[in-house]
Amino acid sequence: MNLLSSRAGRLFPVLLFLLCLLSPLFSQEIGEPEEDPLNEEVLLMEDAEGITVTGSPETTQQMKVLTKEDIEKVHAPDLATLLQETLGLGIARFGPYGNQTDITMRGFDSERIAFLIDGVPVNSPMSGDFDISMIDLNTVERIEVVYGGSDSKYNVTGALGGLINIITVKKQEPGLRIGGSLSNTAALPGPYYERSGTKADPAWQDLADTQNVALSLGLGLQSLSISANIFANRAENHFLFTDSNKKVRRKDHNEVWDAGASASLVRDIGDYAKVILKGDFYYGDKNIPTSGFSSVAQKQNDFSTRQNLMLDMPRAFRDELSTEASLTHALHTLDYGSASRHRQHTITGINRWGWYPLDKLTLRLGGDYRYSYLDSTDIGRHDRHDGGLYLTAEYQPVKQFLVIPSVKAVFSGGAAAALVPVPKLGLVWSPSDSLTIKNNYFRSFKLPDFEDLYWVGGGMYGNPDLKPEDGWGADLGAAYEFHERLSLEASGFVQWTADSIHWYSSSGTWRPENVGEAIFFGLDSRLGFRLPFSPGPFAEIGLSVSYQFLLSYLLSYGYTYASDKRIPYMPLHRAGLSLSLPWNAGSPEHRGSLVISGHYEGPRFADTANLTTLTSYVLLNATVNQALNKHLGAFVSFRNILNQSYESFNDYYMPGLTITLGIGMNLSFPRESPIKTADDPEG
């Protein structure tokens, strides 16, 4: 009885919050969709780019957006490859498809980057990161990347290095659409040395190393749209690499099979409001190898499912009010055999309000709440309440100047816990239509994860007395655009972090402590250019060049500035190149494109003592897309054309040249007028 009373006491704040969260939904009458008079202020983006709860439409931070067209032209095998080839982000991965991958932004790893799906945070409460291999790029409509700490666009916690919002929901146009794709990735075969030292002949089966199949369906009705997607991958992950002894080896024991599905429903209700229901699941059967050429591999089974209910009301009862809300349940299981199993449940609620009291002033307020429950063989059973409340003002005294002060009060451990203020001040100055200058000052803040707090086993012990990670930062950026042909963007930043959590060994026992302190100085720049003419069969040629500079100082473990120690896996220099060559071939039905990308990653250290150095590498990739007719298209992608043997993470080698050949189908049955349904007043 005491146990039930205790759990009921913990769940009462959850139920109370959810009741307040959903009250606007039940007070709204269902009716005909009307033309939206507040198009510039709608919080639910509804166009060809997709639909999602978006928070504030304003941001003073550096931000990049990848559209559906950008994603489809690259045909990347996963999200990490896409972000590296298009935006030049850094990645450190333990192998090809399906393996652990770490994305870095402004010197911070995935545990300190906020990942969102359709505006909802999805970082694991157990480990703090997010398994990006669960994302099916065929379902992604748009990706928003916000750089820097203390996010005030979505007002989520833990965005020390930045934020990545993956938008998967789209309102379908009237009619029926059926799509599908099939691809095969071939690894370059060749002679290699087996573990016994015997030289083996080329393994020609590597020409059929990885296959992907995906199917999609979209149905648009008058006030309702439905979409569904399914995908499956078989990745043997066999490839040649050159080890530290300069011998050519063939990677094995890294096979991955996975599959997933998702479905969403968008329903128009009265007074411009919409309700969105979405569900998805993912299953992966993976062999995770140890480093180098070891034959030891661990079996890993992943299962994840997520259900999401979203509400958007751009006109909430009054013309000067708007609101959006979401309620999400997620289950994620990780099994490494019967000896190591982990079950994570999370319930996340978000409610945001916009109030427009004056022409020059907008107030945005709201909050988020997450209940996390973990049942783990290595961590035990633990739960936690966390979230926060925020208030943001957008004041525009003159047309060219915008001031956005914001503060979020973050709590953890229950409603009675102390609130930690996380302030931010953002400034935007537009002296001309071509030039925009942005400036930010912010505090960054991140709560410890369950692994850091409670892990027990294998000579590793968590620390329940850990403090949250904390820090301060500032950035100054400018963006210039000339007649939509030339664009130049640069952002300089400095960020200091303290109480960062790191595991270290003492007398053979590993334990995390708040020993991490570091400071980062950086520059992120990008130049884009479009030719003002169309040579030959080409349409509009686009060229983009990016450069990132990051000077980091590790100030932990007794190190000082004079020690000159760098943060592991953070290179001093990183550069990227992207060239797009589209053509029409005499008819829109036979259009195509050539996309070339290059990525340079400078030398990196693999440890805090800076004793192990990973050499620099250059990746050159190319993708050719060609429409065969109105409904069919084909593509071929060449990755690592230079066939470099390189390590993304220490002693985990990456594939050489791979070639992916694929074909896609898109059948469309549009309707000139909306389809009438039984619940339509005119149907």
3-state secondary structure of 243: coil
Instruction: Grade residue 54 by pLDDT with cuts at 50, 70 and 90.
Output: low
Q: What is the pLDDT of residue 245?
A: 87
- pTM of this prediction? 0.89
Q: Give the Cα separation of 357 and 344 in Å (integer).
A: 42
Instruction: Kindly state the DSSP code that residue 15 receives in the 8-state scheme.
Output: H
Q: Give the Cα separation of 454 and 671 in Å (integer).
A: 57
Instruction: Report phi then psi at 481, rounded to 5.
Output: -130, 130
Q: Is the pLDDT of residue 43 over 80?
A: no
- Count of structural domains within the chain: 1
Q: What is the pLDDT of residue 153?
A: 86
In-domain check, residue 418: yes
Contact 381, 375 (CB under 8 A): yes
Q: Which residue has the higher pLDDT, 659 or 40?
A: 659
In-domain check, residue 519: yes
Q: What is the pLDDT of residue 270?
A: 79
In-domain check, residue 412: yes
Domain of 651, CATH number, reads 2.40.170.20
pLDDT tens for residues 113-149? 999 999 999 999 999 999 888 899 999 999 999 999 8
**Mean pLDDT value across residues 341-370:** 94
Q: Which of 145, 134, 67, 70 is nearest to 105 (CA)?
A: 145
Return the amino acid letter for 650: N
Which of 201-205, 501-505, 606-610 comes out lowest in average pLDDT? 501-505
Q: What is the pLDDT of residue 631?
A: 92
Q: Which of 426, 572, 547 is nearest to 490 (CA)?
A: 547
pLDDT tens for residues 366-416? 999 999 999 999 999 999 999 999 999 999 999 999 999 999 999 987 544
Q: Is the pLDDT of residue 177 over 80?
A: yes
In-domain check, residue 681: no
Q: How many helices (H) and strands (E) does the chain have?
A: 4, 39
Q: Give the Cα separation of 458 and 461 in Å (integer).
A: 8
- Strands 199-200 vs 240-242: parallel, antiparallel or unpaired: unpaired
Q: Is the pLDDT of residue 589 over 80?
A: no
Q: Give the Cα separation of 617 and 627 in Å (integer).
A: 33
Q: Give the Cα separation of 375 and 366 in Å (integer).
A: 31
In-domain check, residue 682: no
In-domain check, residue 221: yes
Residue 490 lies in domain: 2-670
Q: What is the pLDDT of residue 502?
A: 85
Q: What is the pLDDT of residue 172?
A: 83
Query: Measured in Å, how far apart are the chain's first and last C-alpha atoms?
Result: 54
**Whole-number average pLDDT of the chain:** 87
Residue with tokens 């699941």: 281
In-domain check, residue 45: yes
Which of 13-27, 224-238, 530-544, 613-627 comes out lowest in average pLDDT? 13-27
Q: Give the Cα separation of 38 and 320 in Å (integer).
A: 10
**Mean pLDDT value across residues 476-496:** 93
Contact 543, 498 (CB under 8 A): no
Query: Dmax over Cα atoms in the chain, in whole Å?
Result: 80
Q: Is the pLDDT of residue 522 over 70?
A: yes
Instruction: Kindly state the DSSP code that residue 251 receives in the 8-state scheme.
Output: -
Instruction: Grade residue 2 by pLDDT with cuts at 50, 70 and 90.
Output: very low
Sign of CA dihedral 4, 5, 10, 14: positive
Which of 125-134, 178-187, 502-511, 643-652 comes out lowest in average pLDDT? 502-511
Which of 27-41, 54-68, 597-611 comes out lowest in average pLDDT? 27-41
In-domain check, residue 675: no
Contact 244, 271 (CB under 8 A): no
Instruction: Grade residue 292 by pLDDT with cuts at 50, 70 and 90.
Output: confident
What is each CA distance from 101 to 110, 130, 525, 589, in whole angstroms? 9, 9, 24, 38
Measure CA 75 to chain center: 17
